[in-house]
Structures are given as C-alpha cells and as structure tokens.
C-alpha cells in the first residue's frame, strides 16, 4: 500500500502480514527542496543519536554517528533509522501500532532534520544560525514526517513559555524549564567562583549540573512525544535549542581553568549570558535587543575563546527570543 501525503514529502509503504501477522512500515523522507541540500544526509547524525538516546522507554538502542544508522527495540518492534532519511519499523502489532511508533520516532528526530540553511533545526532554534535568525525554518513549519499539515501561525521564541500554558502537556514543558533553572543555578555558583579565579570543586558542580540537564531533557522529550498536536509538540525544539545554549555556557566555563583571562571581560560575558536567559523567562523583547547590541560591543575587542563562547550563548538566546517559530 502506497500513500502520498499532501505535499509529497514522504512515502509510506505499509506491508501487512509480512512476518507471521506482524506489520512493517517503511517511511522514506524526501531530500528534495526545501529540506536539506542535495547530496547531504537527511539527519544530522550527532543530533540523530542524541535524540534517540533521550527516548527512555526503548528496550535497547544502538546508534552509530559514523555509520548514520540506529537500531532500537521497543515492545517487540525493531526500529531502523538511516541517516539518508529512511525509517523502517518491523514487527508492529498492526497498522495503528506501526504508525504510532513512526510518529514517536519522527517527532523525536524532528530537530535533527536539516533546515534549508543546511544545519539541523535544533541549531537554528537555538539562535546559533545567522541565516535563520529572522525567519521561520521550513522544516519546522512543514515537517517531512507523517501527515502534519503546515502551520498556520507563528509566535516569537520568547513567547514559548506563555503559549505552552494552553497545552494539555504543559507540565512536562514547565518541568523541563524548571530543571533548566536548576542547571542555571549551578552555573551561577560556578560563576561566583570564576570571578575569584577559584577552580576548586568544579567537577562536582558540573556533575550536578549534568544531572539537572538530563532530567530537563527527559521532560522535554516527554513533551515532544506526548503532546497531542504536532506543531505544539514542536515547541519542544525551542526547549532543546535553549538546552544547547546553556550547555555551551557550562562547557566554556569548564575550559576557563586552562586559559588566562581578565576577570572584567569574563564578568561582562557571563552577565550577558545570565541576563539573556532571564529576559527569555519573562519574554522581555526590548532586553533581547539590548543584549544583541551589548554582544556586538563586546566583540569589538579581543577575548579568549571560552569567554567569547559564554557571551555568544547569551547572544543566541536573545536571537531565539526574537526569532519566529511556527505553531
């Protein structure tokens, strides 16, 4: 049985009764415009593997970034994902079971699909993409998965927390951001030490930050999988983008002990980053504009790389706040 969806983005082939009454579903995602560029992999393989690893209920998972191939087992089903855009689900109980599984896998991988800029959507959503900072990303608005109609409206990234309050699964989203808040609290503790160039106990603090991030990502993934409407579920990509930005700050802080830096320049960078995160929480659009200017000002002078990374993460958060997202 062949099916073409409205925009011919995807071919489904469902093979019933192939293996002793089980159902196989094959989905081949098109590489045509506007998704990705010719000759490029369909999935960013690094994002593909980390997205699949966040699905907590798989019985087993193997994912190779090098080969761009993943095999997961779940309730007797075998799920194959290929970086070229093919997803095969074998040994599903029936058509519904096969399709439900495809939706879960598809939504989870949504952020690892390249945008027309060639970068995975999560990176565009994080604000780390010049080309996409003022526009809706195509593969976000018109995902090449399942039968999702194009989105009809949009919000700014900074409006995400308010928008999600009207969604049934809002608790998962709020919990994900609460855990990010805990992550940021640890970053602030590290920050206090940084201004005194005190690098003691850094590893223990980083470990506790990592725990909060893991819990945040678990809730964010729950939101992506369990939210009824697909475009609402895609708000989870904004969360993942924020998680990337905050993770970058921690990574950069970790590197500070190996470099020589001026406390003053560090302070400007970290204030910029924390101000930006807090501006996001209250959707302060004016502040986002101010932060973009502060970053440009900061970049007029030379700074060590990790210090720049911290400031840049704040700049990215500000750009995410003003970037339009489809809903």
- Binding region for Zn ion (CB under 5 A): 115, 117, 119, 124, 129, 131-132, 137
Alpha-carbon distance of 182 to 112, in angstroms, equals 26
DSSP assignment string, 207-243? HHHHHHHHHHHHHHHHHHHH-SSHHHHTHHHHHHHHH
Identify which of residues 24 and 45 has a Cβ nearer to Zn ion in the complex. 45
Identify which of residues 292 and 319 has a Cβ nearer to Zn ion in the complex. 319
Which of these, 248, 185, 243, lies nearest to 216 by C-alpha position? 243
Identify which of residues 22 and 43 has a Cβ nearer to Zn ion in the complex. 43
Q: Nearest 10 degrees: CA dihedral of 133, 135, 141, 145?
A: -50
Burial class from Cβ neighbours inside 10 Å (0-12, 13-18, 19+) for residue 294 reads buried
- The least distance separating Zn ion from the CB of residue 67, rounded to whole angstroms, comes to 25
Q: Which two tokens stand for residue 280?
A: 């996001």
Identify which of residues 131 and 214 has a Cβ nearer to Zn ion in the complex. 131
Find out whether 127 and 57 touch, Cβ atoms under 8 Å: no
Alpha-carbon distance of 118 to 126, in angstroms, equals 15
Identify which of residues 27 and 124 has a Cβ nearer to Zn ion in the complex. 124
- The least distance separating Zn ion from the CB of residue 318, rounded to whole angstroms, comes to 16
Query: Residue 115, SS3?
Result: coil
DSSP letter at 131 equals T
- The least distance separating Zn ion from the CB of residue 323, rounded to whole angstroms, comes to 9
Find out whether 156 and 138 touch, Cβ atoms under 8 Å: no
Q: How far is CA 229 from CA 3, 234, 261, 280, 318, in A?
A: 22, 9, 48, 24, 27
Identify which of residues 94 and 134 has a Cβ nearer to Zn ion in the complex. 134
20: CB partners within 8 A, 6+ apart = none
- The least distance separating Zn ion from the CB of residue 238, rounded to whole angstroms, comes to 13
- The least distance separating Zn ion from the CB of residue 113, rounded to whole angstroms, comes to 10
- The least distance separating Zn ion from the CB of residue 212, rounded to whole angstroms, comes to 28
- The least distance separating Zn ion from the CB of residue 325, rounded to whole angstroms, comes to 10
Identify which of residues 131 and 262 has a Cβ nearer to Zn ion in the complex. 131
């Amino acid at each position: 049985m062949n099916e073409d969806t409205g925009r011919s983005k995807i071919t489904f082939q469902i093979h019933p009764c192939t293996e002793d009454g089980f159902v196989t579903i094959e989905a081949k995602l098109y590489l045509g415009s506007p998704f990705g560029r010719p000759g490029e992999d369909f999935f960013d393989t690094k994002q593909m593997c980390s997205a699949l690893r966040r699905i907590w209920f798989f019985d087993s998972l193997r994912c190779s970034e090098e080969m761009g191939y993943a095999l997961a087992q779940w309730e007797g089903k075998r799920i194959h994902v290929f970086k070229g855009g093919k997803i095969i689900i074998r040994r599903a109980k029936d058509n519904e079971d096969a399709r439900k599984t495809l939706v879960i896998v598809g939504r989870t991988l949504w952020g690892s699909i390249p945008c027309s800029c060639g970068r995975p959507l999560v990176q565009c959503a994080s604000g780390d993409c010049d080309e996409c900072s003022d526009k809706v990303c195509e593969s976000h608005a018109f995902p090449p998965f399942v039968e999702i109609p194009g989105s009809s409206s949009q919000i700014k990234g900074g409006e995400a927390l308010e928008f999600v309050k009207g969604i049934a699964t809002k608790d998962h989203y709020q919990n994900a951001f609460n855990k990010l808040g805990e992550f940021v609290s640890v970053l602030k503790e590290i920050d206090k030490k940084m201004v005194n160039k005190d690098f003691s106990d850094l590893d223990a603090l980083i470990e506790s930050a990592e725990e909060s991030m893991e819990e945040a990502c678990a809730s964010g993934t729950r939101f992506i999988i369990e939210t009824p409407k697909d475009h609402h579920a895609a708000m989870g990509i904004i969360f993942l983008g924020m998680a990337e930005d905050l993770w970058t700050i921690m990574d950069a802080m970790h590197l500070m002990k190996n470099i020589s830096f001026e406390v003053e320049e560090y302070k400007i960078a970290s204030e910029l980053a924390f101000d930006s995160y807090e501006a996001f929480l209250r959707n302060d659009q004016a502040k986002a504009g101010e932060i973009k200017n502060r970053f440009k000002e900061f970049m007029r002078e030379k700074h060590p790389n990790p210090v720049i990374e911290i400031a840049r993460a704040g700049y990215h958060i500000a750009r995410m706040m003003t970037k339009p997202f489809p809903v």
